[in-house]
Structure 1
Amino acid sequence: MSTQDHPLLQGELRLGGRLDGRFFDLLAALALTGSLQKAARTAGYSYKGAWLVLDAAVALTHAPLVDKATGGAGGGGTRLTAEGDALLAAWRELQARHAAFLHEQAAWLATQPALDALLKRMSMKTTARNQFLGRISAVHAGPSTTTVRVALDGGQQVTASLTTEAAHELEVSTGQQALALVKSSEVVLVTDFGGYRLSARNQLAGTVSRVERGAVSSLVGLTLPGGTVVTASVTSDAVDGLGLTVGQQATAVFKAYAVMLAVRA
């Protein structure tokens, strides 16, 4: 198993807190070219920057890492000292050991289904504040639009409306694990329906658990039975107008077309 299967399972190898992969790319290129100018370009340093990082490394190792020759038949150049060669060789061995360690941990994660699935879910990066994990409980396909219901762990249902073409591409099916993604700006909070019913498919009742006020907009967290939290981005004037406070009952409302569905490839 490759550690690429677990984007969160990463580790940066660094020696002395400062010598990282880029520095050792510089040493490797220097060993190959014999030219600090060429090596600096290869590793993404300026010529001056390369000398500065080499000076910093020497301050850590207390040993010369490069030997600069001037003039002569060969026209001069820069080469690694014995200490520089030894440091580069040690880095390469440590890299191999580090990769083997990550591979071993990834293999262990594969034997922990719940933790493995959790890490894979966490690896997804999105601006949507609301990411509801559940399983698809129903799929209603139409000529152009397909409606998908996702059952959450707390017993709630989130309904997504997507094109039938997209549903076919995702190969959605009942029982499949899915994430329902909803931007916080798409969530409307209702504290009193006043006898009216709304057309929005998703209406999740819960308790206000946090109110983060801003100068113009505020974030309001609504905790549903079971612990799932819905975050709504509303104007601060709306917070005042509704008198939103922690502990207050409210309902998070959002339309089905505002839900983006994600399933594992």
Structure 2
Amino acid sequence: MKPHDQPLLQGELRLAGRLDGRFFDLLAALALTGSLQKAARAAGYSYKGAWLVLDAAGALTHAPLVETTTGGTGGGGTRLTAEGQALLQAWRELQARHAGFLREQEAWLAGQPALQQLLKRMSMKTTARNQFSGRVLDVQAGPVTTSVRIGMDDGTHITASMTSLAAEELGVDLGQDALALVKASEVVLVTDFGGYRLSARNQLAGTVSRVQRGAVSSLVVLTLPGGSTVTASVTNDAVEALGLAVGQPATAVFKAYAVMLAVRG
């Protein structure tokens, strides 16, 4: 796995629905330091918060998990009871089993290429509302600019333009899985071309399927014939001027330079 890759499967382990990794970090730090104040700081709790969570956990187990001592040669402190130690040990064992389970499922997933690719596309996090997944169909490299055409499963094609240096750094090649990312603010909606033709490379005709009005602007969603959707962010004035409403045909237009291309490294 490359350093920047994230596992496709993740799962949070909890006991009794509320005892999570942070709580057991507190127990582990307490076992190590013998000081609740130090353990609370290490696990990100306040001193009072640590006592509260320990009391709540003790109520679940019906036995105290920590005990305090005062004075003596050691100067007193806080330590885990036998029940606390047993719970911490059980957590560590369960963690190992849980990690093993996730590894087994990752191995199974590796044998399901279509599902694996779907999850990989879903794992990318970005603020761009429009994310089109497909494969690189054509690469036109020039001395300064490179044009890349991406084909989706539903037959939709999107063209992205970038510097040739950027295309070289991405290692764009035919047949690669790719994501085309387009901000909603970069999409222009056209309901009537009035006999004109536009220079924008990407012109996707569809039907308005949703209009979500805000205080100043609206999000307008177009559904394309193949089932994909395109979201545009337009002013409320523009929505009213165009009479945009559900069921109305419209075309989403955006420049090739507005498309950010992502390929798996």
**TM-score interval for Structure 1 and Structure 2 normalised by the shorter chain:** over 0.9
The separation in 2 between residues aligned to 1:90 and 1:216, in whole angstroms, is 55
The separation in 2 between residues aligned to 1:196 and 1:253, in whole angstroms, is 13
Q: Does 1:132 align with 2:132?
A: yes
TM-score by length of 2: 0.96
Match of residue 195 from structure 1:
195
The separation in 1 between residues aligned to 2:128 and 2:89, in whole angstroms, is 45
Let me know the Cα RMSD of the aligned residues: 1.5
The separation in 2 between residues aligned to 1:175 and 1:7, in whole angstroms, is 24
Unaligned runs of 5+ in 2: none
The separation in 2 between residues aligned to 1:5 and 1:107, in whole angstroms, is 16
Equivalent pair of 2:8/2:106 in contact (CA under 8 Å):
no
Match of residue 166 from structure 1:
166
Once the two structures are TM-superposed, the CA of residue 7 in structure 1 deviates from its matched residue by: 3.9
Equivalent pair of 1:206/1:249 in contact (CA under 8 Å):
yes
Equivalent pair of 1:6/1:106 in contact (CA under 8 Å):
no
Q: Does 1:53 align with 2:53?
A: yes
What is the DSSP-based 3-state SS (H/G/I as helix, E as strand, rest coil) of the residue aligned with 1:197? coil
Q: Deviations over 1:97-117 (max 9, x none)?
A: 111111111111111111111
The separation in 1 between residues aligned to 2:215 and 2:176, in whole angstroms, is 42
Q: Which amino acid aligns with 1:245?
A: A
Q: Which amino acid aligns with 1:20?
A: D
Equivalent pairs, count: 264
Q: Does 1:247 align with 2:239?
A: no
Q: Mapping of 1:53-202 within 5 angstroms?
A: 53-202=53-202
Once the two structures are TM-superposed, the CA of residue 154 in structure 1 deviates from its matched residue by: 2.2
Match of residue 10 from structure 2:
10
TM-score by length of 1: 0.96
Q: Which amino acid aligns with 1:68?
A: T
Unaligned runs of 5+ in 1: none
Q: Deviations over 1:85-129 (max 9, x none)?
A: 110011011111111111111111111111111001000000000
Match of residue 41 from structure 1:
41
The separation in 1 between residues aligned to 2:239 and 2:72, in whole angstroms, is 77
The 10-residue stretch of structure 1 (188-197 or 155-164) with the greater mean CA deviation from structure 2: 155-164
The 10-residue stretch of structure 1 (36-45 or 59-68) with the greater mean CA deviation from structure 2: 36-45
The separation in 1 between residues aligned to 2:231 and 2:45, in whole angstroms, is 44
Equivalent pair of 1:154/1:224 in contact (CA under 8 Å):
no
Equivalent pair of 1:128/1:181 in contact (CA under 8 Å):
yes
Once the two structures are TM-superposed, the CA of residue 215 in structure 1 deviates from its matched residue by: 2.1
The 10-residue stretch of structure 1 (122-131 or 169-178) with the greater mean CA deviation from structure 2: 169-178
